[in-house]
């Protein structure tokens, strides 16, 4: 035991003594901190000045003044005075019902293992009192609060979740950025005075364990000075040993460079990926933030959300599910319902999600809508078959598992072992679901069967 501990300490010391150069070859070689792959599920909180009009999407300002959308232009003409500006919305961003401890407990109850808050979207408004955003921040204009700091403190005091931050590298209408853009990005004034100072400020002040970068696509990573920031993040920052970062660090970087790959919004390839990835997606099909005019059919059902979670984890990814709070600081009942439903399901089936790895099969070879995960123990491997649809006659006929004389099957949430037989020709397994009443049914959606002692 003593020898094992010495080896572990030496290995830990070696890993943490590594220094990363500001090159993609070096940065991409950094091992991803283990907590992230174990976590599997996080909550994304998209909140900002766009939560005040709460119309169309978080791209409201751009759809009004950048690339005008008729519905947005008409909305403003009908409801606001002619000289109204986007900055005027800030005074209406009141957040009077914002209770960060309530949020933190709600997110943890959903089964999430980490939460990522938008610290600044493309509108440029910072949700913390940034020294680099003058009067366009949450302490100077609007709520007069440090919205980032309050949630960071609540998450750490009230939950076991990790805390992360989303940050947009560019700003639609910032004149310094537009001047850099007009130079063909030969100038870097915006990066030097705004983007990078904000990122260093966020990391030093709030010590997030996720940096979710965005808004990078108009320029390459050399303009953004991304590799130098990441080298500091991994070598010297106060979270250098636990921080994870995504892949949106410049044109051409997504799905190519970064700690985990977020690739495109709502990325779910449906097959096993070689690199750790994340499916960042929304409950509202059309917006990351809150929309006052959303209809019930615009929201994904719990069955659809679970399908996203299960297929994502089966293929080696994490799910980051977005909720959009209101300008008052509340989270609407529909979002709350989806969060609670996810938590209900994970309390029963979490053993087949958290800490799992992809199996040799992601989908079954015979039955549709079955996804696999696995866990390797010291002496045996557990394989989880997760059914999205209830089978006919309570009989599950799976083609992928190859049984042995030691095979056992359990239904998560059901106290007794489940009977099974080997499939035709010695291939596959037939699982007979026991008679279940409303009271003994483990969960309402997506049922998990844990199989041990398989040959493959």
Q: What are the pLDDT tens digits along the chain (456 aa)? A: 455 444 444 444 444 568 999 999 999 999 999 999 999 999 999 999 999 999 999 999 999 999 999 999 999 999 999 999 999 999 999 999 999 999 999 999 999 999 999 999 999 999 999 999 999 999 999 999 999 999 999 999 999 999 999 999 999 999 999 999 999 999 999 999 999 999 999 999 999 999 999 999 999 999 999 999 999 999 999 999 999 999 999 999 999 999 999 999 999 999 999 999 999 999 999 999 999 999 999 999 999 999 999 999 999 999 999 999 999 999 999 999 999 999 999 999 999 999 999 999 999 999 999 999 999 988 889 999 999 999 988 999 999 999 999 999 999 999 988 999 999 888 999 999 988 988 889 999 999 999 999 987
Neighbours of 124 (CB within 10 A): 21
Q: Cβ distance 143 to 99 under 8 Å?
A: no
Q: Cβ distance 407 to 451 under 8 Å?
A: yes
Q: Quick one: pLDDT at residue 17?
A: 63
Q: Quick one: pLDDT at residue 416?
A: 86
Neighbours of 77 (CB within 10 A): 10
Helix or strand holding residue 120 (H, E): strand 114-120
pTM: 0.95
| Chain centre to alpha carbon of residue 424 | 41
CA proximity to 147, closest of 170, 132, 166, 162:
166
Kindly provide the residue ranges of all beta strands, DSSP E only, lying in 286-369, ordered along the sequence. 317-323
CA proximity to 281, closest of 249, 241, 323:
323
Q: Cα(264)–Cα(188) distance, rounded to whole angstroms? A: 26
Q: Cα(200)–Cα(208) distance, rounded to whole angstroms? A: 11
How many CA atoms lie within 13 Å of 294's alpha carbon, on the beta-carbon side? Answer: 24
Helix (H, G, I), strand (E, B) or coil at 356: coil
CA proximity to 431, closest of 373, 348, 366:
366
Taken in order 231, 213, 342, 397, the sign of the CA dihedral is: negative
CA proximity to 304, closest of 332, 331, 283, 325:
283
Q: Cβ distance 128 to 149 under 8 Å?
A: yes
Q: Quick one: pLDDT at residue 417?
A: 85
Q: Cα(431)–Cα(103) distance, rounded to whole angstroms? A: 41
Max distance between CA atoms of the chain, in angstroms, equals 78
Helix or strand holding residue 179 (H, E): helix 175-182
Give start and end residues of each alpha helix (H) in 207-325. Answer: 221-224, 226-235, 302-314
Q: Quick one: pLDDT at residue 425?
A: 84
Neighbours of 446 (CB within 10 A): 22
Q: Which residues pair with 409 in a beta bridge?
A: 451
Q: Cα(86)–Cα(359) distance, rounded to whole angstroms? A: 50
**CA 165 vs CA 53, 98, 119, 277, 298: distances in Å:** 23, 18, 6, 17, 26
Q: Cα(326)–Cα(153) distance, rounded to whole angstroms? A: 21
Helix or strand holding residue 71 (H, E): helix 70-79
144 φ/ψ sector (left φ>0, alpha ψ -120 to 50, else beta): left
| Six-digit token string for 14 | 């070696």
Q: Quick one: pLDDT at residue 9?
A: 46
Neighbours of 447 (CB within 10 A): 24
Q: Cα(282)–Cα(334) distance, rounded to whole angstroms? A: 13
């Amino acid at each position: 035991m003593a020898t094992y501990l010495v080896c572990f300490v030496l290995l830990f010391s070696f890993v943490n003594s590594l220094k990363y150069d500001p090159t993609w070859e070096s940065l991409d070689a950094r091992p991803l901190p283990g907590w992230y792959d174990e976590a599997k599920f996080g909550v994304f909180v998209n909140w900002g000045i766009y939560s005040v009009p709460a119309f169309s999407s978080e791209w409201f300002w751009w759809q009004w003044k950048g690339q005008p959308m008729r519905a947005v232009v008409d909305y403003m003409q009908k409801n606001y005075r002619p000289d109204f500006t986007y900055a005027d919305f800030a005074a209406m961003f009141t957040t009077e019902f914002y209770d960060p401890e309530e949020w933190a407990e709600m997110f943890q109850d959903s089964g999430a293992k980490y939460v990522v808050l938008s610290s600044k979207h493309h509108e440029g408004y910072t949700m913390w009192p940034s020294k680099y955003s003058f009067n366009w921040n949450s302490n100077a204009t609007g709520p007069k609060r440090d919205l980032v700091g309050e949630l960071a403190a609540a998450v750490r005091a009230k939950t076991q979740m990790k805390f992360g931050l989303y940050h947009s590298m560019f700003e639609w209408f910032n004149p310094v950025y537009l001047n850099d853009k007009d130079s063909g990005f030969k100038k870097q004034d915006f990066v030097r005075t705004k983007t990078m100072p904000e990122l260093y400020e966020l990391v030093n002040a709030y010590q997030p364990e996720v940096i979710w970068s965005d808004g990078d696509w108009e320029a390459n990573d050399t303009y953004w000075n991304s590799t130098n920031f990441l080298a500091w993040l991994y070598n010297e920052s106060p979270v250098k040993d636990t921080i994870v970062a995504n892949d949106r660090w410049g044109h051409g970087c997504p799905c190519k460079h970064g700690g985990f790959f977020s690739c495109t919004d709502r990325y779910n390839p449906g097959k096993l990926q070689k690199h750790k990835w994340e499916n960042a997606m929304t409950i509202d099909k059309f917006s990351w933030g809150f929309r006052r005019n959303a209809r019930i059919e615009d929201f994904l059902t719990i069955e659809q959300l679970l399908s996203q979670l299960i297929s994502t984890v089966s293929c080696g990814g994490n799910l980051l599910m977005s909720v959009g709070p209101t300008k008052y600081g509340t989270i609407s009942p529909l979002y709350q319902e989806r969060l609670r439903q996810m938590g209900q399901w994970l309390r029963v089936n979490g053993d087949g999600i958290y800490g799992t790895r992809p199996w040799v099969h992601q989908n079954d070879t015979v039955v549709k809508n079955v996804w696999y995960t696995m866990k390797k123990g010291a002496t045996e491997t557990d394989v989880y078959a997760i059914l999205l649809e209830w089978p006919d006659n309570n009989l599950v006929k799976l083609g992928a598992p190859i049984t042995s004389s030691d095979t056992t099957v359990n239904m998560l949430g059901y106290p007794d072992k489940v009977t099974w037989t080997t499939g035709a020709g010695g291939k596959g397994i037939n699982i007979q679901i026991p008679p279940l009443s409303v009271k003994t049914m483990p969960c309402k959606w997506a049922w998990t069967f844990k199989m041990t002692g398989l040959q493959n």
